[in-house]
Chains A and B, each alone.
Chain A
Amino acid sequence: GAVVSQHPSRVICKSGTSVKIECRSLDFQATTMFWYRQFPKQSLMLMATSNEGSKATYEQGVEKDKFLINHASLTLSTLTVTSAHPEDSSFYICSARELLRDRNYGYTFGSGTRLTVV
């Protein structure tokens, strides 16, 4: 089945620094990938839709200059949290759908990145 690799799985960084999270589709091509954030005991919230070769589409309330998304190839999307603050501490998850799959197949998720900003 489709596999999405996400790393790092955990990261601790100091306030003010930037953190890059990578999401790779290992055995399929994904023109679109999605980035979610999940705070403890809350639902996944879509942050942005990453489109290969074009600008990402951000959800309302998500700062595009703070959460930089790059989708340079059909198998790789990156999310960079810039100038991280403690309130950015969260579980970040990417997902992708195989290009040729129909809409009833669902999406495959990466294993998530737990970010802690100290």
Chain B
Amino acid sequence: RKEVEQDPGPFNVPEGATVAFNCTYSNSASQSFFWYRQDCRKEPKLLMSVYSSGNEDGRFTAQLNRASQYISLLIRDSKLSDSATYLCVVNLNNDMRFGAGTRLTVKP
């Protein structure tokens, strides 16, 4: 089983749609969790950290379920500029492990 698993997609959605990505991780001792965004041929950039209480940043909402070892990212009112690959990242003792990423394309 992979340490961090994501649905690779691609997700093709119209502008304004709501889209959700899921991620599962295998090590229950994992300490911190993140969503990164990676544009084509660019480095990943931190989108948001993920907390057990859930957190929201504008149109983006992240949730963590430690019992199920599951992380989610919800994007509301999607924009063309949201098109990118979204990486689920799990940290254990400074060892960051990346999911393979979920590709999102938002179309006009």
Contacts and interface: CB of A to CB of B under 8 A. Distances in A.
Q: How large is the interface on B (under 10, 10 to 19, 20 to 34, 35 or more residues)?
A: 20 to 34
Given A110-B43, A112-B42, A103 B32 contact: yes
A109 B94 CA distance: 14
Contacts of A36: 98
A95 to B, nearest CB: 7
A109 B43 contact: yes
Interface stretch (B14-22, B44-52, B65-73, B74-82): B44-52
Contacts, number: 51
Nearest to A6: B43
A91 B41 CA distance: 8
Interface in B9-53: 31-32, 34, 36, 41-46, 49, 51
Nearest first, the 7 A-B pairs at minimum CB distance are A43-B100, A109-B43, A106-B46, A44-B98, A112-B43, A103-B32, A43-B98
